[in-house]
Amino acid sequence: MSQRFRLPSGGHVDRSQRLGFSFDGRRYEGHAGDTLASALLANGVRLVGRSFKYHRPRGIFSAGIEEPNALVELRDGARREPNTRATVAELFDGLSATSQNHRGSLGFDWMAVNGLLAPFIGAGFYYKTFMWPAAFWERVYEPMIRKAAGLGRASGLPDPDHYEAAHAHCDVLVVGAGAAGLAAARAAGAAGARVILAEQDFLLGGDLLNEAEHDAWRSETIAALEAMPEVTVMPRTMVFGAYDQGVLGAIERVADHLPEPPPHTPRQRYWTIRATAVVLATGAHERLIAFPGNDRPGVMLAGAARTYARRYGVRAGETAALFATHDAAYDAAFALAEAGTRIAAIIDPRTDSAAMQRAREAGLAVRAGSVVNGTVGGKALRGVEIGTVGSASRGDAVPADLLMISGGWNPAVHLASMSGAALRWDDALLAFVPEEREESAWQRSAGACRGVHGFGAAAADGAAAGRAAAVAAGFDAADIPLPDAPSADHRPYALWEVKGGGKAFVDIQDDVTADDIRLAHREGFSHIEHAKRYTTHAMGTDQGKVGGLVGAAVLAEARGEPVASVGLPRFRPYTAPIAWGAMAGGEVGRHFQPVRRTALHGVHDELGAVWMDAGIWKRPAYYPKAGDTDGWASVKREARAVRERVGVCDVSTLGKIVVEGPDAATFLDRVYANTFSTLAVGRARYGLMLREDGIVFDDGTTTRLGPDRFFVTTTTAQAGPVMQHLEFHLASAWPDLDVSLASVTDQWAAMSIAGPKARDVVAAVVHGLDVSSEAFPFMAVADCKVAGVPARLFRISFSGELAYEIATPAGYATHVWQAVMEAGVPYGIEPYGVEALGLLRIEKGHVAGSEINGQTTALDLGLGRMLKKKGEFIGRVLAQRPGLTDQSRPHLVGLRSVDPARQIRAGSHLLVDGQDCGWISSATQSVVDPGWIGLGLLRDGEARIGSRIIAANPLMGEEVPVTVTSPHGYDAENLRVRT
């Protein structure tokens, strides 16, 4: 099929370059410089999609980012991208696109039956209809609605492309490279400022691209910008959001105009731009008029038809009508007439105007005082019905396959509004424009985005804004050559809607009609934000760029108020859709988050460890061995080795903080609920830390290394928060204390050697230290050498067995571990993982993160005796509140499944006589007395020891009888750790 709507010359397409592409499987040809939309129009393709709700046939409506209809699936396979706007998709050779949102073919869509049901599926239909029965929502209604709704299909495959995040700094950021933006960038650049000029289009010029007679100024300005070394021009870069303090976000489409990105090139780049001053020159979006049938393929914004003719050399129709409320739109009729399209009628509600007279002089048929009150046609426009202003009766029809409409221009105020500018109603333009405010002098709007239309006026406004921005960034103002050109009159007649039979859309993409807006008002959703959510008005990918204000005007009329007081919904990023991949950037797959490995990671890997995540740490869960029937067999084997012989476990992930200074002991007394100032040098003590609200925060052992020097350990999970907690209180509450803190978690590797034979193993590797119980009792700490390298030995235990912990500078970790393993061979040493560690501590009754869960007090955990009676500490005062000292609060207990074979689970509820009285916090299988055991928090827990209750898990359909026990069932006298 030839490009029969392509003009022989003119515009910014290169007719010598032929690009083949396909749409819905049919082959077409376009040129370099085309968008998919302009190439489709050149080939006479009018029907490009189906609407969201009613599945009405739709055509290309705009020529830019505001496109509501022409959304396609671009590319195939893993690169398929749904909901891509054909109006901004740059044509390349081999492009393949598919229409979306229809079952069956685009021409015959089964879902179009929704159009016949339209009287029943207005705004709020889903809310009202799918209410009952409630259980049907999840199983029946929602899947059905989800199947029917939505637009394009995601590929469902991993994205083969990669994306980059990048940062840029500049003195002046100019957003938009139309007349205003080009002038602003040049003025700021001439002043010497570092300038970034970002333009979403692949060509610079904006509306200048439609004005061949001004192309010399455009080319000369671009050349001047390229000659300035401090000016960076970024085409294909859409600024999508404005944030605080001159930070703006942008997407650079690096390779979207190519079949696929070249090697080592990202598809898109996500820019964070920090600018001292910002000029917004984002232009304006033309708005529709609501009239019956205003969505028919062939109805198009007037400015878009003009752009297709002038920039792309494409006639959007054979016979056109123009329905406009202001003079500036008439240029579309002149452009189409020049291109050879027959102008059937110009329909204008006004009585007379300069442009009307010019049109008459040019021989065009002008129907003053008229409106379009209907369209004729099915999948393509065939005619336009013309009535008179204020009359409900239908008038005559004129044949046309293109109806160009314009209800005025809405300044693109999105970024201005996001960055804090108030919006002001402009009575002449009938639109919101940004209020200029002194406190936002670093940021200003220029040109059409603040209502200054016309090439000459916009360029002058842009130059002034660029100069001011450069001055705001500390440069001296400079002048640039400016063009002289008259401005067309953009002030529209106030006509938002032509009422009549049939659907008059205010939001074409979401199928929201003027009647839907009125329905929302009648049903009480009269605030613009409520009406938006009730009707989905302006919630599509176009965010109401062409019809948002029209919907607001319909609502204003229903409320009997001016549009200005109805306003617009809040503008938020993103101004136009961006790809998820760009937001994710390089942080995908294994780069999604960092992995923390201990110094012994390679050792565990060689031992075949099964890994588990502890935050971002990788820790060995257990080490499977031949003969282990399952994971539990491995875990229990490891735990038995500790109970019966000796085991070794990597505990390097515990947080380690050195607290040093003359006031270190005083500080620790204040941050811990127990006392450390009485601790002797060379001794360790278990410490309990509370939050200010009296809830337990963390626990761990702290060692006194010297009079003014302590070594604090924290749990793995709370290492960071505890450090921050200590830093905060030193800075805010006790700046008078002379204390320094240093996190040394990564500097030290640590391993626990636990079991009845632990001393034999430790004695074999430690030099220069008597490790007998007399010389080195429970809670002793000393520096020593292990296997010839420096180390520190702690006699502390988490497992309930005789145990030592060897800490060594991380670089020696593997050497020390291997020495320990070798020394342990005669004693049957086994490495044990986090699962066995958990088993052992539950058996012993030690609390961990499942019990110190941010809800429990020291009293709840049976640790009330640790709270010092005298002296200040964080959490002391608020822990005394009645709610936290209530005797009926759930208390730590041990639990044992009555039937040793029946599993109990963490999270199960504890039922006493059918009443929910607590929960299981941790569960495991005992190796000392086989069967399922656990720890839990139970109301009146201590009083219930010995009684039988129910552990209920409704999710698993289980009710397991359990016996309440003391949590300290294993070696309650603590003899084993002290031997």
As measured in angstroms, the least distance from the Cβ of 876 to another protein is: 8
Three-state DSSP class for residue 884: helix
CB count in 10 Å sphere of residue 666: 17
Distance CA 344, CA 363 (A): 11
As measured in angstroms, the least distance from the Cβ of 885 to another protein is: 11
In contact, 333 and 355? CB cutoff 8 Å? no
> Which of residues 242 and 895 has its CB atom nearest to another protein in the complex?
242
> Which of residues 93 and 692 has its CB atom nearest to another protein in the complex?
692
**Which two tokens mark 231?**
């000016």
In contact, 273 and 250? CB cutoff 8 Å? yes
Angle between helices 302-310 and 330-339 (to 10 degrees): 40
Strands 948-953 and 342-348: unpaired
Three-state DSSP class for residue 708: coil
As measured in angstroms, the least distance from the Cβ of 248 to another protein is: 9
> Which of residues 644 and 692 has its CB atom nearest to another protein in the complex?
692
As measured in angstroms, the least distance from the Cβ of 71 to another protein is: 31
Q: Residue for token digits 């009888």?
A: 961
**Which two tokens mark 799?**
């497992």
> Which of residues 265 and 440 has its CB atom nearest to another protein in the complex?
440
As measured in angstroms, the least distance from the Cβ of 92 to another protein is: 35
As measured in angstroms, the least distance from the Cβ of 743 to another protein is: 9
Distance CA 941, CA 945 (A): 7
- Residue numbers of the site for another protein (CB under 8 A)? 243-245, 247, 272, 274, 420, 439, 692-693, 724, 727-729, 731-733, 735, 872, 876-878, 880-881
As measured in angstroms, the least distance from the Cβ of 671 to another protein is: 12
> Which of residues 855 and 880 has its CB atom nearest to another protein in the complex?
880
Q: Which residues of 758-788 are buried (b: 16+ CB within 10 A; e: fewer)?
A: bbbbbebbbeebebeeeebebbbbbebebbe
> Which of residues 479 and 872 has its CB atom nearest to another protein in the complex?
872
DSSP assignments along 357-417, one per residue: HHHHHTT--EEETEEEEEEEESSSEEEEEEEETT--S---EEE-SEEEEE--EEE--HHHH
In contact, 789 and 808? CB cutoff 8 Å? yes
Distances (CA, A) of 399 to 249, 331, 382: 46, 21, 6
> Which of residues 272 and 773 has its CB atom nearest to another protein in the complex?
272
**Which two tokens mark 956?**
């698993």
As measured in angstroms, the least distance from the Cβ of 172 to another protein is: 17
Three-state DSSP class for residue 523: coil
As measured in angstroms, the least distance from the Cβ of 750 to another protein is: 24
> Which of residues 103 and 169 has its CB atom nearest to another protein in the complex?
169
Is the omega angle on the peptide bond into residue 900 within 30 degrees of 0, that is, cis? no
DSSP 153: P
Distance CA 551, CA 921 (A): 55
As measured in angstroms, the least distance from the Cβ of 946 to another protein is: 37
As measured in angstroms, the least distance from the Cβ of 511 to another protein is: 37
> Which of residues 439 and 774 has its CB atom nearest to another protein in the complex?
439
> Which of residues 420 and 502 has its CB atom nearest to another protein in the complex?
420
> Which of residues 242 and 550 has its CB atom nearest to another protein in the complex?
242
As measured in angstroms, the least distance from the Cβ of 724 to another protein is: 7
Beta bridge partners of 689: 698
Distances (CA, A) of 920 to 64, 363, 938, 943: 59, 88, 8, 17
> Which of residues 868 and 896 has its CB atom nearest to another protein in the complex?
868
